[in-house]
Structure 1
Amino acid sequence: MNAEQGIVFGVLLATLGMFIWNRLRFDVVAMLALLVIAVAGLVPADSIFSGFGHPAVITVAAVLVISQGLVNAGVVDAIARFLGKVGNNPVVQVSTLTLVVSLCSGFMNNVGALALLMPVAIWMSRQGGHSPSLLLMPLAFGSLLGGTMTLIGTPPNIIIASYRKSAGEAPFAMFDFLPVGVAITLAGVAFIALVGWRFTPHRKDSDDGKDLFSVGDYITEVRIPEGAEAASRTLHNLLKKVEKDADIAVLGLIRDEHRELAPSTFEVLRAGDILLVQADTDSLQQLLDTAGLELADEGDREDNNLGEGDVALQEVVITTDSQLIGRTSNRLNLRERHGMNVIAVARQGHRIKERVGNIRFRAGDILLVQGPEEALAEALSTLGCLPLAERGLRIGSPRRTIMATGLFAVALITIVSGWLSAPVALVGAAVAMVIVGLLTTTEAYRSIDWSIIVLLAAMIPVGQALETTGGAKLIADQMLVVGGDLPVAGMLALIMVGTMLLSNVVNNAAAAIIVAPIAISLSNQLDLSVDPVLMAVAIGASCAFLTPIGHQSNALVMEPGGYHFGDYWRLGLPLSILVTAVAVPMIMLVWG
């Protein structure tokens, strides 16, 4: 091992360790790795940031924009609407959900497909009287399986296609992944639907499968009496006066015969106004004492229907890249900036009893939020939260649905026919969707997961350094020493299983970037085509079923499903074995 190889191995080991440690975001870790490689002189100065213009990175960004365009047009919801008609039989529910999410994941971002169908799955579980844990893990695993079917189904496939080009071959085409991907998807869906779902923990919500939150006991009406200091002041001033000592959310304002839910913080209060507040006993007393308010008497009280008008009350889950993580609602001024009240927070299936404004949010926390419907939808998108139960489906007009489907179909046809490369065709489709009004430029930029873009752009040069320094060949030599007597099928299984294990502890795109050059070097020494080994890497990188941290889909369902870290391997281990057993013979048959 020479000095350059030692530096590359040291950087990779440190990077993997920091990925597993999970104290810094994975995109930040990837940029640190790139900077160390650059300072060490292992990447040419003019190529340090070349990853940001890499075709794989451009393709991933375009796919994310197109996915949002399809969602806006109502295409995906049109597919999902029939799920409410499948009945309450667990086998039917699991098989239908898993199959639908697999099909969606083949042609759009798999995390996006999961996010769209997760509210439907939770609604179905509650209608059927069983725990969401029964459906959510199969749904997440189905999204991973479906992503293996096409070039654009998951970032590892796009990366592997580019590595095939670097090995001197044409990049993998759109449907080159289809034979192996369809085989493992059908086998996986059949296993999950018939047997696997029984391995998931059947946990009940705190409310026996019904709503996780019950806020009725925490809602009170208070009146502003004549002469009170709060009269002629804004709601903002009232809350500012007590926010340090009390945890209060104002859900509504009643004035004469008019009811205003989620009132503006700049609303000027008047004597006689009745405020609908959510607060615990101590906070309520603080409000009454500090602001000189009084409890509304029976003659003042009205029906506290929080769902009235255009104001929504929703359960949402915090995603793994949300800007809420590590911060509190008080610190973020969510009410002031986004018009959103956080009424309650649940973690690990139980409502947190602390003051809501002081709770430091974590990825996977479930929030009960309230606000005007339009403003709330935009706020959730900006903050990185996904709605759970009772998400209204977008009813796109037939014209928009046909337009979005047509643009996407044209892009696929041009790619398959060879008229245009995948990056050019998909970027063209994304731009066309913006031009025809299927999504705004703001929505287009917001739909791109920039953390994934930065991760890919930073790790691609690091992977190239592993190859150019001879580090990949060195690892391949050691693999030959260990498994040199294995048949080709055994070597493919070794590569696939190794990539699977790595993808369960680091981001799957990073796993593909690290393992691909090693697999290419190994194929050269074995005098094999690069195709079967790259396909083995692609399947292994996409099938992270053993932990909740290997893929965003697994992490997203952890809290809503009430899963623990150790729950994933019960279904994930037999599914991983099945995928390997099906994929290796199919790879040899198609690419051998």
Structure 2
Amino acid sequence: MLEPQTIVLAVLIGSFLLFVTDAVRYELTALGVVVVLVLSGCLTVEEGFQGFSSNAVVLIASMYIFGHAFTKSGLAEGLGRRMIGRSKPQPDPSQGGTLTGRVHEAGLVLRMTVASGVLSSVLSNTGVVATLIPVASSISRKMRIPLSKLLLPLAFGSLVGGLVTVIATSTNIAINDLLREIEGSGGPFGLFEFSQLGLVLLLVTTLYFAGPGRWLLPTSSVEETLSERYQVPKFVTEVLVEPTSELINRNVADIDMFQRFNVAVLGIVRAGGERPVLAPGPYNRVRAQDTLILQGAPDDVLRLSEVLPIRRRESVEAGDTRLYSDDVRLVEAVIPAGSEYIGQSLASSEFRTRTGLNVLAMSRHGELQLKRLQEVTLDIGDTLLVQGHLPDISRARRQRQLLVLDEVQAPIASRRSWIVLATLATVLLGAAFTDQPLAILGMAGALVLVLTKVVLPDEVPKIIDLKVIALVGGMLALGTAFQRVGLDKSFVHSISSTVNDGFSHRGALALLLVVTMILTQVLNNVSTAVIMTGIAVELAQTLGVSPRPLLMAVVTGSSLAFLSPVAHQANAMVMGPGGYRYKDFLIVGLPLAILTGVTSVLLIPVWWPF
């Protein structure tokens, strides 16, 4: 029989490898952790499932409901727009408008950072980013400022804003719940206990983007059309319907060969100068001498042409003007965190049937996906070039399974907005001035939102991200096993021997923060935070100091996910729309990580003495 320490260490390493390689979905990895720990006897059944019924899970679920209420009522977008400010078209450089344009850009970058940080202090940072990406895209288009200048400040501001309150992120909530169980931790943090540090770090981030950070941001082209950016001719082909073709007089929906060969019909250009039919519906008929605008891999179109008598046109004109009209648009759309399309392909999700939209091209991590689009498994941050009728695009925007980066109208806050604000304020005041657990207050607030029909009961199962719930529950179980078998003591023994060889207490804090921050760049931040929390408490006991400053190092380090697009969902969501590369996160994020890290090491011992 293997020793319990060996089993838990193997589970820890195995789960970390799966997280890093993304070989298995992270929620499945978390559930597998629980199963292995219980079957191996490292945890009892009750201990294994305790995390799924913890205060953390209840509070996270409640905050998802609050976040949805803020979005649905128009509050989040309205507050974001108000904080960012009204946009005015940037002056023409030929008329002496260059300096004004620069001033506009600098002010907009700062307001974007502050808006995302403030909203993320009480709402999910991924929800805030999802809400503000379309707003930033609209303002970018109006002011002729590259979107790449706005989205990294948006993402990084949201990450730092998560340090302002305990309820801001699932990581904070998971750490706080773990502290209830760890003896000698000093108990959970208060709702606003580390707000002063979070606000200072948000100020540092804002000042960074006011100076060197803004100059390090990449500059994407604002003149490039969507067709040019996504290299539409690689994916779109024009073919002529021969007089002998069996397609003649058939409805588009009846032609199963298009689906069989993974080819979509984007438009029908009629012979004789008739008005083209773009994004044709299922009942549009094909005629002789029609020119069909087809989207698909060149090999698929070639195989289709071998079966059907269609001829590829030599003069391909498939640019923007051939793909949109008064009622048909070409727009970009991003797959946000929590979207039902994550983990599915366009074909398996029946994307075209459900949305009425055609996907012309796809970009992932700044790289165009050149293989068959219908078969690519979608992930957070994937950016799609979409063609569709205005009503279908508007419906997709309302459903929020896609973030449509088109012109967005200013939201009209509903009459229930005051209910949302009053309920959240009551929960926050109750947490600040009573001894009631945050989880109970959060659940009570969520119940009020449902009873007042701000959030409909049928919406609740769709709102709560069960993947995050599974991750938190599984990682809390791993944290419990980690401490139960004494692995935290073993880790701390190695660390303390290093610390005692010349490190001060502040040096130990810095070491803990740096290790946590580095692990956060490659692992899920919840997993990193849970494991490092136990190590921080044990290290404090070994050094004979208060655990609070070391715990704050873990809280802070797990939020400084600036160095990689995969370090946090907020980063992944802005990568495609901003046209960023991996190196951009390192170039912009490393100086900010150093600044915020040094600031934290200097201030944490002041507010939480050893």
Q: TM-score under structure 2 normalisation?
A: 0.84
Q: What are the residue-to-residue correspondences of 1:211-250 with 2, within 5 Å?
A: 212-213=229-230, 231=249, 234-238=251-255, 240-245=256-261, 247-250=263-266
Letter matched to residue 343 of structure 1: L
Whether the aligned pair in 1 keeps the contact of 2:323 and 2:330 (CA below 8 Å) is: no
**Distance change (3 Å), C-alpha of 1:132 and 1:515:** same
Letter matched to residue 108 of structure 2: Q
1:564 to 565, 572, 581: 581
Q: What are the residue-to-residue correspondences of 1:414-429 with 2, within 5 Å?
A: 414-418=430-434, 420-429=436-445
Matched, 1:156 2:171: yes
Matched, 1:108 2:123: yes
Aligned partner of 2:417 in structure 1 is: 401
Q: What are the residue-to-residue correspondences of 1:186-225 with 2, within 5 Å?
A: 186-204=203-221, 207=224, 212-213=229-230
Matched, 1:517 2:518: no
Distance 1:494 1:23 in 2: 30
Distance 1:34 1:273 in 2: 62
Whether the aligned pair in 2 keeps the contact of 1:247 and 1:356 (CA below 8 Å) is: no
**CA-CA distance at 1:33 after TM superposition:** 1.9
Whether the aligned pair in 1 keeps the contact of 2:63 and 2:123 (CA below 8 Å) is: yes
Whether the aligned pair in 2 keeps the contact of 1:318 and 1:386 (CA below 8 Å) is: yes
Distance 2:131 2:172 in 1: 22
Q: What are the residue-to-residue correspondences of 1:10-49 with 2, within 5 Å?
A: 10-49=10-49
**Distance change (3 Å), C-alpha of 1:15 and 1:60:** same
Letter matched to residue 42 of structure 1: C
Aligned partner of 1:299 in structure 2 is: none
Distance 1:143 1:588 in 2: 25
Letter matched to residue 61 of structure 1: A
Aligned partner of 2:455 in structure 1 is: 439
Whether the aligned pair in 1 keeps the contact of 2:144 and 2:222 (CA below 8 Å) is: no
**CA-CA distance at 1:444 after TM superposition:** 2.6
Secondary structure of the residue aligned to 1:152 is: helix
**Distance change (3 Å), C-alpha of 1:209 and 1:165:** same
Aligned partner of 2:492 in structure 1 is: 476
Distance 1:281 1:573 in 2: 39
**Distance change (3 Å), C-alpha of 1:137 and 1:234:** same
**Distance change (3 Å), C-alpha of 1:4 and 1:145:** same
Q: What are the residue-to-residue correspondences of 1:92-491 with 2, within 5 Å?
A: 92-167=107-182, 169-204=186-221, 207=224, 212-213=229-230, 231=249, 234-238=251-255, 240-245=256-261, 247-250=263-266, 265=282, 267=283, 269=285, 277-279=293-295, 283=301, 290=308, 306=324, 308-309=326-327, 313-319=330-336, 324=341, 328-347=345-364, 349=366, 356-357=373-374, 361=378, 363-371=380-388, 376=393, 384-397=401-414, 399-418=415-434, 420-484=436-500, 485-491=502-508
Residue range with higher mean Cα deviation, 487-496 or 218-227: 218-227
**CA-CA distance at 1:540 after TM superposition:** 0.8
Distance 2:71 2:242 in 1: 45
- Deviation per CA, 1:376-421: give whole Å up to 9, x if none: 5665787953222434443223x22222111111111111121532
Distance 1:227 1:290 in 2: 7
Residue range with higher mean Cα deviation, 279-288 or 357-366: 279-288
- Deviation per CA, 1:525-578: give whole Å up to 9, x if none: 222222222111111111111222111111222222222223222222221221
Aligned partner of 1:508 in structure 2 is: 525
Whether the aligned pair in 2 keeps the contact of 1:248 and 1:284 (CA below 8 Å) is: no
Distance 1:230 1:272 in 2: 6
Residue range with higher mean Cα deviation, 364-373 or 56-65: 364-373
Residue range with higher mean Cα deviation, 435-444 or 190-199: 435-444
Distance 1:128 1:591 in 2: 44
Whether the aligned pair in 1 keeps the contact of 2:396 and 2:404 (CA below 8 Å) is: no
Letter matched to residue 122 of structure 1: S
Residue range with higher mean Cα deviation, 46-55 or 214-223: 214-223
Secondary structure of the residue aligned to 2:167 is: coil
Letter matched to residue 190 of structure 1: L
Whether the aligned pair in 2 keeps the contact of 1:324 and 1:383 (CA below 8 Å) is: no
**CA-CA distance at 1:513 after TM superposition:** 0.5
Secondary structure of the residue aligned to 2:522 is: coil
- Deviation per CA, 1:455-480: give whole Å up to 9, x if none: 00011011011111111111111111
Aligned partner of 1:298 in structure 2 is: none
Residue range with higher mean Cα deviation, 447-456 or 278-287: 278-287
Secondary structure of the residue aligned to 1:31 is: helix
Distance 1:210 1:179 in 2: 47
**Distance change (3 Å), C-alpha of 1:252 and 1:65:** farther
Letter matched to residue 59 of structure 2: T
Whether the aligned pair in 2 keeps the contact of 1:473 and 1:518 (CA below 8 Å) is: yes
Distance 1:42 1:196 in 2: 47
Residue range with higher mean Cα deviation, 204-213 or 70-79: 204-213
Letter matched to residue 438 of structure 2: A
Q: How many residues align?
A: 578
Secondary structure of the residue aligned to 1:249 is: strand
**CA-CA distance at 1:252 after TM superposition:** 8.1
Residue range with higher mean Cα deviation, 514-523 or 435-444: 435-444
Whether the aligned pair in 1 keeps the contact of 2:552 and 2:604 (CA below 8 Å) is: yes
Aligned partner of 1:552 in structure 2 is: 569
Segments of structure 2 that go 5 or more residues without pairing to the other structure are: 89-100, 314-320
Distance 2:457 2:265 in 1: 34
Distance 2:303 2:56 in 1: 58
**CA-CA distance at 1:104 after TM superposition:** 0.6
Matched, 1:589 2:606: yes
Distance 1:358 1:43 in 2: 41
Whether the aligned pair in 2 keeps the contact of 1:219 and 1:278 (CA below 8 Å) is: yes
Aligned partner of 1:300 in structure 2 is: none
- Deviation per CA, 1:151-203: give whole Å up to 9, x if none: 11112211222233224544222111201111111112211222212223334
Whether the aligned pair in 1 keeps the contact of 2:241 and 2:309 (CA below 8 Å) is: no
Q: TM-score under structure 1 normalisation?
A: 0.86
Whether the aligned pair in 2 keeps the contact of 1:206 and 1:350 (CA below 8 Å) is: no
Q: CA RMSD in A?
A: 3.7
**Distance change (3 Å), C-alpha of 1:383 and 1:17:** farther
Aligned partner of 2:54 in structure 1 is: 54
Whether the aligned pair in 2 keeps the contact of 1:125 and 1:131 (CA below 8 Å) is: yes
